[in-house]
């Protein structure tokens, strides 16, 4: 008779072995057994009959706005949204106020997170024009997931638009560097194409060529320096063949938004709530992104959760800010694509668990396997629920997917053996801890 802290019993386990019915035994926050545990006892038992048991979903791109913009979001509310959405861990972005460009700012975020965040977490160091020496120290610090560089769509010193500055940063740091790849020079030249009040002009100002030009520049620098990069929220058909030729240096992220929404319909229906950077583009680009998912070119799925208030989003274009909430809807939106045959459940696991572990070298996370953290996302593939604004835990209280009938729903979020969310309720709050990385152990 084995005693476990927790047994997840009778679900369909989806992992490296494929999928099959079985039990997961948890001891001291780790996966201690997988198989038939009918005769074993446990302090807690979850009956997972009828559910699929996935490795915990990891969202490697969120903006939780703290410090400085807590009226939009904070670490508690953002992580609450994550847990309710079946997400066990998040990587948070550096464009807060102040920006996360010093070791002190990074340590401040980790301190704010302690005892307040409901899921595990790591924070990006913001690459700036004036902090190269700091980045070398920051990327080695516990709780840092790496360096993030904005080549477009940022402000102040966090905007690193020249090849010279990008080269200085990439040459100095050791870990994989994440990039927002849009060509700031071209977008400034195209600013005159803005049609005030008309959001359909957003993808014309920030056109596909802006993304392609920047990604081409970036890949040339990374290849020359032999440095690893991660190209965030790729949105164009044009970039994909180029990225396929540079698999030795580049990994690729795509967002549910770019896989689900399309211009001009999204802008006509949602107006400012469809506005993000890079923009929602037409169906031709969306189809190419799906082909890249199927071919294995896309490594990682992130939400780019970037909340703004409804009042801010209601301002006429271009006064309306770019960014949409997404961490709570990532799982149901993508399970809907699974139900509709656009990707397999195994590929979803690859994009949200296996590949984040591989790309970012997570220690003990991203696999449903013995000895790994007991991070599990339990989903009901048969559930049919309408996504609503009212159920969103984000302070924004809206989602671009409101009104969509989701085909599949997260039923429980388990982080290191703690049942953080069950049936839409936070059951074990504030258990989030910093994520550990193999490169900085």
Q: How far apart are CA 213 and CA 191, in angstroms?
A: 17
Within a 10 A sphere around the Cβ of 41, how many other Cβ atoms?
A: 11
Yes or no: say if 20 and 355 are a contact pair by the CB < 8 Å rule.
Answer: no
Within a 10 A sphere around the Cβ of 440, how many other Cβ atoms?
A: 17
- Among 385, 212, 237, smallest CA distance to 297 is for 237
Q: Is 299 marked active-site?
A: no
- Among 415, 406, 421, smallest CA distance to 434 is for 415
Query: What are the tokens at 106?
Result: 């990074």
- HSE (side-chain half, CA atoms, 13 Å) at 150: 21
Q: What is the CA radius of gyration of the chain?
A: 21
Pairing mode, strands 144-150 and 177-180:
parallel
Pairing mode, strands 87-92 and 57-62:
parallel
Q: How far apart are CA 44 and CA 29, in angstroms?
A: 13
* DSSP secondary structure letter of residue 429: T
Concatenate the DSSP letters of all residues of 119-174 into one string: SEEEEEEEP-TT-HHHHHHHTTSTTEEEEEEESSS--GGGB--SHHHHHHHHHH--
- HSE (side-chain half, CA atoms, 13 Å) at 157: 16
- Among 142, 134, 149, 138, smallest CA distance to 111 is for 142
Alpha carbon 74 to chain centroid, angstroms: 16
Catalytic residue among 23, 74, 304, 350: 304
What sign for the dihedral angle of Cα 312, 401, 424, 38? negative
Instruction: Give catalytic residues, as residue numbers.
Output: 304
């Amino acid at each position: 008779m084995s005693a476990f802290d927790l047994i997840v019993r009778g679900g369909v386990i989806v992992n490296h072995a494929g999928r099959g019915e079985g039990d997961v035994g948890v001891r001291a926050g780790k996966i201690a057994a997988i198989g038939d545990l009918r005769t074993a006892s446990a302090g807690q038992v979850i009956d997972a009959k009828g559910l699929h048991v996935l490795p915990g979903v990891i969202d490697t791109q969120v903006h939780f706005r703290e410090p400085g913009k807590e009226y939009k979001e904070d670490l508690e509310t953002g992580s609450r949204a994550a847990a309710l959405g079946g997400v066990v861990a998040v990587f948070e972005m550096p464009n807060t106020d102040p920006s996360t460009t010093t070791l002190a700012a990074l340590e401040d975020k980790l301190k704010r997170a302690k005892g307040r965040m409901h899921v595990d977490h790591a924070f990006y160091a913001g690459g700036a024009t004036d902090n190269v020496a700091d980045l070398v120290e920051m990327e080695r610090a516990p709780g840092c997931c790496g360096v993030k560089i904005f080549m477009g769509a940022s402000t102040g010193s966090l905007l690193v638009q020249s090849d010279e500055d990008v080269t200085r940063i990439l040459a100095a740091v050791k870990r994989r560097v994440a990039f927002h790849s849009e060509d700031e020079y071209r977008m400034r030249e195209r600013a005159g194409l803005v049609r005030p009040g008309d959001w359909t002009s957003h993808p014309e100002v920030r056109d596909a060529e802006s993304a392609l030009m920047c990604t081409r520049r970036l890949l040339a620098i990374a290849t020359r320096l032999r440095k690893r990069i991660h190209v965030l929220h790729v949105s164009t058909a044009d970039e994909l063949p180029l990225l396929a030729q540079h698999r030795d240096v580049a990994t690729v992220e795509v967002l549910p938004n770019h896989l689900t929404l399309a211009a001009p319909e999204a802008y006509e229906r949602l107006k400012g709530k469809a506005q993000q950077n890079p923009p929602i583009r037409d169906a031709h680009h969306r189809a190419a992104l799906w082909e890249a998912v199927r071919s294995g070119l896309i490594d990682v799925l992130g939400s780019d959760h970037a909340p703004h208030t409804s009042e801010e989003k209601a301002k006429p274009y271009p006064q309306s800010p770019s960014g949409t909430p997404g961490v709570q809807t990532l799982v149901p939106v993508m399970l809907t694509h699974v139900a509709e045959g656009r990707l397999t459940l195994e590929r979803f696991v690859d994009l949200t668990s296996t590949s984040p572990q591989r790309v970012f070298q997570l220690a003990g996370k991203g696999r449903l396997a013995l000895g790994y953290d007991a991070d599990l996302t339990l989903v009901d593939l048969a559930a049919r629920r309408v996504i609503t604004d009212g159920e969103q835990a984000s302070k924004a209280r809206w989602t671009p997917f409101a009104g969509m009938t989701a085909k599949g729903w997260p039923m429980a979020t388990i982080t290191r053996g703690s049942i953080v969310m069950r049936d839409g309720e936070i059951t074990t709050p504030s258990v989030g801890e910093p994520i550990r990385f193999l490169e900085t152990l």
